[in-house]
Amino acid sequence: MSAAALPITDYNALSDESCEGRIRAAKAALGSRLTILGHHYQRDEVFAHADISGDSLKLSRLAAASDAEYIVFCGVHFMAEVADILSRPEQVVVLPDLAAGCSMADMANLVNVERCWSELSELLGEAADSQVTPITYINSAADLKGFCGRHEGIVCTSSNSEAVLNWAFERREKILFFPDQHLGRNTAHRMGIPLEDMVVWDFDQPYGGLTAEQVARARLILWKGFCSVHQMFKPEHIDAFRERTPGGLVISHPENSFEVCAKSDYVGSTETILKTVRASEPGTHWLVGTELNLVNRLHHEMKPRGVQVQFMSPVICMCSTMFRTDPQHLAWTLENLVEGQVVNQIIVPPEIAQPAKAALDRMLALSA
């Protein structure tokens, strides 16, 4: 094992083309000891090197099933945490750039969620555990997954949110859903739950800015969080598309606002978006409301088949934190592994990992 890790500063000035060759060479040297997982929102120069790609649910399953010694996660911090929680103790999970986070995940932290739980108990007149099931979107920190595990709650993704909400309602009458209010609202409305049965918990306000009466009536308590990328898509973008493109189809991710999803022909996870568009007939024209890198790849894939794919917003809006993982960081990560050095390892402490795994296992059992 070498005495010191290769410094990232040695890689910052390298061109993407130079990094590509070095990444391929490092992958070949590591062989079956390495698996690179790539989320759909990764930039093309990184996504091209993924051994397996997918959305959060698919990659969570693959992290648990991987036989590789090294799992390099080209995604964001919470995804690498999930991989560490679900992988075997002898496996090493690496995030190429530790700055790759998630603004939505940052909108909910353990201090605020625990305060919310305590205040819900006050508003309801009895312990929240007896009436409320906590659900955290997978786009959240490991300690929030651990919170759900400790309170008989569960994790969800955009692929399985309806099954998870059904599971929760079978156990208790109310749900606390965080951090993304839009996924919770869109899923529940699709299940037939009226909007008036939902309230938004403003974590900056005492008691979420709600009264005891509002909380008592609510079936779904939605955290005031959102995805900054999906906030860019507006109903008027869909109106303009329909005016220009009679017969065109609109598909949106459920992290979009209720108004955008209501105007869309289809709503679904990234995997659902890919599956639906890929199954369409030649001549179909799609407006897609999700992250730019995925939409651009789908556009180039479908163009030879006579299917047009268009990004929903006239303003470019990619996930800036996903974009942080670049070829330079990936080359640095892999070449250090070749030299026997692990950089940017993600380790979730056992006291957090154990309850978090319980919440994740409940989710995976529903999605089996």
Q: Is 213 exposed, middle or buried (0-12, 13-18, 19+ CB in 10 A)?
A: exposed
Residue 353 structure tokens: 């990992």
Whether 363 contacts 164, CB under 8 Å: yes
The whole-number pLDDT of residue 55 equals 77
Q: Is 301 left (phi over 0), alpha (psi -120 to 50) or beta?
A: alpha
Query: Residue-wise over 184-211: b if at least 16 C-beta within 10 A, else e?
Result: bbbbbbeeebeeeebbbbebeeebbebe
Whether 188 contacts 147, CB under 8 Å: no
The whole-number pLDDT of residue 321 equals 62
The whole-number pLDDT of residue 323 equals 60
The whole-number pLDDT of residue 223 equals 98
Q: How many residues does the chain have?
A: 368
User: H or E segment at 59?
Assistant: helix 56-65
193-234 confidence digits (pLDDT tens): 999 999 999 999 999 999 999 999 999 999 999 988 888 999
- For 225, phi then psi, to 5°, come to -130, 165
Please choose, from the candidates 281, 339, 267, the residue with its C-alpha nearest in 3D space to the C-alpha of residue 70: 339
264-283 confidence digits (pLDDT tens): 999 999 999 999 999 999 99
Between CA 83 and CA 68 the distance in angstroms is 12
Between CA 278 and CA 298 the distance in angstroms is 8
Inter-axis angle of helices 350-366 and 161-169, to 10 degrees?
Answer: 100
The whole-number pLDDT of residue 1 equals 41
The whole-number pLDDT of residue 151 equals 98
- Count Cβ atoms below 10 Å from residue 139 Cβ, excluding itself: 28
- For 340, phi then psi, to 5°, come to 85, 15
Q: Is 290 left (phi over 0), alpha (psi -120 to 50) or beta?
A: beta
The whole-number pLDDT of residue 317 equals 58
Instruction: Give every strand in the sheet of 34-39, ordered side by side.
Output: 52-54, 34-39, 70-74, 92-94
Residue 56 structure tokens: 């959060």
**In the chain, which stretches have pLDDT less than 70?**
1-3, 57, 60, 316-323, 368
